[in-house]
Amino acid sequence: MNYWLFKTEPAECSIDDFARAPDTPIVWEGVRNYQARNFLRDQVAIGDQVFIYHSSCKDIGIAGIAKVVKAAYPDPSQFDRNSIYFDQKSTTEQPRWIAVNLLFVSKLEQLIRLDKLKSLATLIELPLVRKGNRLSVMPVTRAEWQTIIALT
């Protein structure tokens, strides 16, 4: 089993949206970065654990945990002309973009703030805290996962 961190803007999809419907899988769509796409396509597997990270908002940090309940499949939003994620260059034969489904696991009692994560020597390799990082889907090592879990 692998560990991941997925970024989301809570105005779009927050941990509270997960918590509100804990039995309903969330379609993780709209990833439009090739490196992140490749992780979704090649490595994210059913049963993997995912930190849900809130970005571009007031309270920035890890807000909760989800798990993967459906592995890579074509992101439906790429074919939807009405979606902001529509991609004219995608075809059903050769889809460019990948979605997975997530299910709520837990909401952290206290959000783990970005500055807290940045302050930990054991997390210096975590892409999230590295300068200029823009990955919206990133791997988390087992050691990093346990470091972060220990903060809760």
Chain contacts with DNA (rule: CB under 7 A): 7, 32-35, 55-57, 60, 114-115, 131-136
Residues 38-53 as b or e (16 or more Cβ within 10 Å = b): ebbbeebeeebbbbbb
Nearer to DNA, 69 or 120 (CB): 120
CB of 14 to DNA, least distance (A): 13
- Residue 48 CA to residue 38 CA, distance in Å, equals 16
Name the 3-class secondary structure at 11.
Answer: coil
* 24 in Cβ contact with 69 (< 8 Å): no
Residue 16 or 47 with smaller CB distance to DNA:
16
Give whichever of 121 and 132 is closer to DNA, judged by the CB atom: 132
H-state helical runs in 54-141: 114-118
Looking at residue 38, the DSSP 8-state letter turns out to be H
By beta-carbon proximity to DNA, the closer residue of 69 and 113 is: 113
Give me the least distance between CB of 22 and DNA, in Å please: 25
* Residue 23 beta carbon to DNA: minimum distance, rounded to whole angstroms: 28
- Closest contact distance (angstroms) between CB of 27 and DNA is 17
